[in-house]
Structure 1
Amino acid sequence: MIPVRGYEGKTVAVLGFGRSGRTAARALQSGGARVVAWDDGPAGRAAVEEEGLELRDPARQGALEEVDLLVVSPGIPHLYPAPHPAIAAAWEHGVPVDNDIGLFFASLGSSGWARMDQPPRVVAVTGSNGKSTTAALIHHVLTEAGKSSQLAGNIGRGVLDIDPPEDGGIVVLELSSYQTELARGMTPDIGVFTNLTPDHLDRHGGLGGYFAAKRRLFSEGGPDRCVIGVDEPEGQYLANQLVEGTGDDRLIRVSANRKITRGWGVFARKGWLSEYRKGRQVGTIDLREIKGLPGAHNHQNACAAYAVARTLGLAPRTIAAAFETFPGLPHRSQLVAERDGIAWINDSKATNVDSAVKALGAFSRIRWICGGLRKEGDLSPLVEAAGSVVKAYVIGREAEAFATELKGIEAEVCTTMARAVERAAEEAEAGDTVLLAPAAASFDQYDNFEKRGQDFAVLVDALT
């Protein structure tokens, strides 16, 4: 655990008592703070009492008297669509508001680092799509290379729950926009931006606010080196803001669709990853047969992970060997079964149109299971990307409306996952890929995308 420093003998209120809130409370206590906590749900409040903490609703009149800090869980809105009443009360009373990410960066360093040969470093990964795979791949490469690495943040363990990093240790963080938006301080050694597509727009007041939340990691964090995906205008803008010129090695540009030969660049074309530096090719990897990284979207993830590994001193051949053993992540282009010549792929994490478009581009002869709780925007990009789709099997409470928008695609309204898997199994032929890539959230039928993916995997397993 990383003890939170700076609040010894002070009172800190924790709002939201899920994974991050509970860990933050323990880390604050470990650092000597007095912690009070609150959760809007009865289960969360019961967890506060189980932890032996005082239950205190910070939105209640007078509850913030003598409170020095309010620590907020990521899912609680603090600006759009409207501030949570407790946060509004904190601002009204001049109480600082932070989250576990801000506490982590403020508390990570210790006096013992001065005696280390190589102080620990932090790699922080953000973006819309691919950040989980990129973070996990970086961690995998480092571990395979014999480096001491911990994976935390929006994936793996909570940031304050990790072990204090040892000499030469590396902490790899996946950070969502919810986490980067509020953190009062972020100081990673290496910052990674994968891409930007519309998501969480109500939470951030539109696309500009969403990008601004991601951009804070770089504009206010000041990483020593930045790895930036430049396949969208936002990434190109961000790269432009970070360097003095093309020869500035503080920036590595990455792309999944075009060559980058000026400055330092890593790109993938036709399944080949290439690294260029000062106009010379200095590394290359054939990604086409790496099962854990299928499709152009995963090739972009590979480029970003490769760039980080190179920054940390690993040789191209070492990175290539580690890529070969990467198993992929659950619910992200995950091969759950292959039988009778039919591949069954779980990409339940494809919760928006853009991520589903990328999944559709990774396979041929697709029988596509899609649908769920619709997000903002139309489905026309899916139609344009569905050239390899043989048939769609639509799930969700609004399956009929979803299917109607898939113009030109043969679509069957199945509503339930069980029915969709059953119909796909009846109709699939050798050479087909049955792909779960919903292009929608899961909350109309499942608690989260993990539960949806697990249901798909269980149903596929039951076919045997």
Structure 2
Amino acid sequence: MIPVRGYGGKTVAVLGLGRSGLTAARALEAGGAEAVAWDDGAAARDRAEGEGIVLRDLTQGGAFDGVSALIVSPGIPHLYPTPHPVIAAAWEAGVPVDNDIGLFFRSFGNGDWDKFDTTPRVIAVTGSNGKSTTSALIHHVLEEAGRPAQLAGNIGRGVLDIEPARDGEVVVLELSSYQTDLARALTPDIAVFTNLTPDHLDRHGGMGGYFAAKRRLFAEGGPDRAVIGVDEVEGRYLANQLAEDGAEMRVIRVSAERKLDGPGWAVFARKGFLAEWRGGRQAGSIDLRDIKGLPGAHNHQNACAAYGALRAIGLGPKAIERGFASFAGLPHRSQRIAEKDGVVFVNDSKATNVDAAAKALAAFPKIRWICGGLQKEGGLDGLASDHVLKAYVIGREAEAFARQLSCESEVCGTMAVAVARAVEEAEPGETVLLAPAAASFDQYDSFERRGEDFAEQVAACLTS
């Protein structure tokens, strides 16, 4: 655990008692603060109280008397579509509002670092799609290269739940827009921006607010190096804002669509080959085509971003290539779960929006596509693929979802029916792909549970 510094002997309130909230309360106590906590859900309050967390009803008048700060869990809106009443009350009381990411960055470094030969470093990864895979890939390569490393944030452990840094350690953080938007301290050594596509627009008041939340990691964080995906206009803008001139080496531009020219530092992938160019000369390359854990152009973009971050901390191209080759991929993200009679089954349940699903569809040549769920704002505009042989639509609104598709489709409703029909019709050389292009909450508690159901139904069909 990382004890929170700066609040010794003070009272700090915590709103939200999920994973990050509970960890924040414990880390505050470990740093000498008195933590008081609240959650809108009675079950969460009971669970926290059973673990020794002191509760205080922050919705009551006077609740912020004597409180030095309010720490808010990432799922709680603080601005759009409307501020949570407790946050609004903290503003009125003049109480600073922060989150666990802000606490981490103000508390991670300590006096023990003076004894280290190599100062620990933090790589923070944000973006709309691919940030989990990019973060996990960076962490995997570091471990394969024998470098001490920890993975936390929006993936794995909460940021305050990790162990204090060791000599030369690298902490890899996946950070969502919910986390970067509110943090009062953002000081990574390396910051990575994968891409930007519409998502969480209600929470950020539109695309401008969404991009602004991501941009804070770079504009306010002041990283030593910035790895920026430039395949969207926002990435090109951000890279330009951070660069002092065309030969800038602080910025590493990344693309999975085209060769990047110029005298600066760039990493790009074309036709399955990753290339690093620095100062107008090629400095490294990797053939990504046969790396099973990184299929498709979207994963090649992830590979380029990870490569840039790893090169920024001094890892060599050969060590990175070895780590890429042994990367198995993440569950529910282009995860190859089975193959039988020439048919491959891929679980990409994390493809919860149109852009992520489109990238998954582009990764395989002949697809029997399982899709559907709780649609996000904007519908299915822009989602089309010549690779789809047929769609098998699930979800409570499966008929409405199917009507928006330009390909042949069948309304199946449930995962069991969709998998059974796809298995029945699939032929050698085809891929049965779960890439829902929608949230899971109409039928499942999470995208993970949806992916698990897909894997279970596939296993049942293949063994029957």
Q: CA RMSD in A?
A: 0.7
1:236 aligns with 2:216: no
Amino acid across the alignment from 1:73: S
TM-score scaled by length of structure 1: 0.99
- Matched residue, 1:431: 429
Structure 1 residue 32: Cα displacement = 0.6
- Matched residue, 2:397: 398
C-alpha distance in 1 between matches for 2:118 and 2:30? 26
* Worse-matched range after superposition: 42-51 or 8-17: 42-51
- Matched residue, 1:456: 454
C-alpha distance in 2 between matches for 1:108 and 1:316? 29
- Matched residue, 1:414: 412
- Matched residue, 2:125: 125
- Matched residue, 1:363: 364
Amino acid across the alignment from 1:421: V
Amino acid across the alignment from 1:206: G
C-alpha distance in 1 between matches for 2:162 and 2:460? 37
C-alpha distance in 1 between matches for 2:394 and 2:379? 17
Is the 1:294–1:333 contact (alpha carbons within 8 Å) kept by the matching residues of 2? yes
- Matched residue, 2:254: 254
Equivalenced residue count is: 461
C-alpha distance in 2 between matches for 1:69 and 1:48? 20
Amino acid across the alignment from 2:214: K
- Matched residue, 2:221: 221
- Matched residue, 2:325: 324
Secondary structure of 1:368's match?
A: strand
Unaligned runs of 5+ in 2: none
C-alpha distance in 2 between matches for 1:141 and 1:315? 11
C-alpha distance in 2 between matches for 1:33 and 1:188? 25
Is the 1:366–1:433 contact (alpha carbons within 8 Å) kept by the matching residues of 2? yes
- Matched residue, 2:168: 168
Unaligned runs of 5+ in 1: none
Query: In the TM superposition, what are the counterparts of 1:56-205 in structure 2 within 5 Å?
Result: 56-205=56-205
Structure 1 residue 53: Cα displacement = 2.4
Deviations 1:384-441, CA, capped at 9 Å, x for gaps: xx1010000000011000100102x100000101110010011111111000000000
Deviations 1:123-147, CA, capped at 9 Å, x for gaps: 0000000000000000001000000
Is the 1:69–1:98 contact (alpha carbons within 8 Å) kept by the matching residues of 2? yes
Structure 1 residue 380: Cα displacement = 3.3
- Matched residue, 2:388: 389
* Worse-matched range after superposition: 255-264 or 207-216: 255-264
C-alpha distance in 2 between matches for 1:208 and 1:60? 34
C-alpha distance in 2 between matches for 1:48 and 1:375? 32
Secondary structure of 2:139's match?
A: helix
Deviations 1:160-179, CA, capped at 9 Å, x for gaps: 00001111000000000000
Is the 1:266–1:276 contact (alpha carbons within 8 Å) kept by the matching residues of 2? yes
C-alpha distance in 1 between matches for 2:206 and 2:134? 25
Q: Moved runs in structure 1, 4+ residues, more than 3 A?
A: none
- Matched residue, 1:309: 310
Is the 1:380–1:406 contact (alpha carbons within 8 Å) kept by the matching residues of 2? no
- Matched residue, 1:443: 441
Structure 1 residue 246: Cα displacement = 1.5
Structure 1 residue 22: Cα displacement = 0.6
Secondary structure of 1:104's match?
A: helix
Deviations 1:162-215, CA, capped at 9 Å, x for gaps: 001111000000000000000001100000000000000000000000000000
Is the 1:261–1:280 contact (alpha carbons within 8 Å) kept by the matching residues of 2? no
C-alpha distance in 2 between matches for 1:93 and 1:378? 41
Deviations 1:226-279, CA, capped at 9 Å, x for gaps: 000000000000001001112111000000011113110000000000000111
Query: In the TM superposition, what are the counterparts of 1:42-53 in structure 2 within 5 Å?
Result: 42-53=42-53
Amino acid across the alignment from 1:97: V
Structure 1 residue 48: Cα displacement = 1.9
Is the 1:38–1:48 contact (alpha carbons within 8 Å) kept by the matching residues of 2? no
C-alpha distance in 2 between matches for 1:176 and 1:54? 28
1:16 aligns with 2:47: no
Deviations 1:328-384, CA, capped at 9 Å, x for gaps: 00000000111111100000000000000000000011000000000011323212x
* % identical aligned pairs: 72
C-alpha distance in 2 between matches for 1:126 and 1:202? 19
Secondary structure of 1:380's match?
A: coil
C-alpha distance in 1 between matches for 2:222 and 2:295? 33
Amino acid across the alignment from 1:435: L
C-alpha distance in 1 between matches for 2:110 and 2:415? 50
Amino acid across the alignment from 2:450: R
Structure 1 residue 295: Cα displacement = 0.1
Is the 1:21–1:72 contact (alpha carbons within 8 Å) kept by the matching residues of 2? yes
1:277 aligns with 2:278: yes
Secondary structure of 2:48's match?
A: helix
Secondary structure of 1:37's match?
A: strand
Deviations 1:304-327, CA, capped at 9 Å, x for gaps: 111111111111111111100000
TM-score scaled by length of structure 2: 0.99
* Worse-matched range after superposition: 203-212 or 312-321: 312-321
C-alpha distance in 1 between matches for 2:80 and 2:7? 29
Deviations 1:104-156, CA, capped at 9 Å, x for gaps: 00000101111211110000000000000000000001000000000000001
C-alpha distance in 1 between matches for 2:267 and 2:133? 17
Deviations 1:429-460, CA, capped at 9 Å, x for gaps: 11110000000000000011001001101111
Secondary structure of 2:382's match?
A: helix
